[in-house]
Amino acid sequence: MRYFKPICLIAALLSLVAMTSCERPTPTPQSEKIALTYQIIDGCWQLSHLQGTPISEDTYLYIEFDRTQHRYTMWDNMDSMYGTKTTGTFAISEQDGTYTLSGTYDYGVGVWNNKYIVELPDEDSMLWRSQGENYEVMEFVRIDNIPELN
């Protein structure tokens, strides 16, 4: 009887410790990854950064995706002082939560030089990372329409 009170006290303390240590931590909500779909990519986009650097004011690359036909039209002056218009088809594929964008050019020019892993921080911006030898990172922002080009 003499040891009964200390044993009960120790048992109660151990029970209290065991109950508090069994609490599961509450997971912190993380923003869900936006899936790259034909509906999300549909519309007009402007290149804003290349390799993490903003593109100069006199340089442009605009691309318009058509989700129903899986076609694109691109206007750019990246490699020339004169603008060019390029058309073709594009495809989206997904593997293990990674979205890849690939495409072909019209008029027998062939396939794009690279396939791109695409991430969408939000529905109005895209980040393209090339998978080819010439690694490039391009950031695009959604725009309402393609401006008049000279």
Q: Cα separation of 86 and 88, whole Å?
A: 7
Q: Which residue has the tokens 């995706």?
A: 65
Answer whether residue 118 shows pLDDT above 70.
yes
Q: Cα separation of 132 and 113, whole Å?
A: 7
pLDDT digits (tens, 9 = 90+) for 34-63: 999 999 999 999 999 999 999 998 999 999
Phi, psi of 36 (to 5 degrees): -80, 115
Q: Is 10 helix (H, G, I), strand (E, B) or coil?
A: helix
Residue 86 makes CB contacts below 8 A (sequence gap 6+) with 73, 74, 75, 76, 105, 106
One-character DSSP codes across 14-38: HHHHHHHHTPPPPPPP-PPPPP--H
- In 2-146, where does DSSP find H-type helix? 4-21, 38-41
At 27 the pLDDT is: 46
Phi, psi of 34 (to 5 degrees): -85, 130
The full set of domain ranges for the chain reads: 38-143
pTM of the predicted structure, to 2 decimals: 0.76
Select from 3.30.420.280, 3.20.20.70, 3.20.20.220, 2.40.128.280 the CATH code of 38-143: 2.40.128.280
Q: Cα separation of 82 and 76, whole Å?
A: 8
Confidence class for position 140, pLDDT limits 50, 70, 90: very high
At 133 the pLDDT is: 77
Answer whether residue 28 shows pLDDT above 60.
no
pLDDT digits (tens, 9 = 90+) for 75-88: 999 988 899 999 99
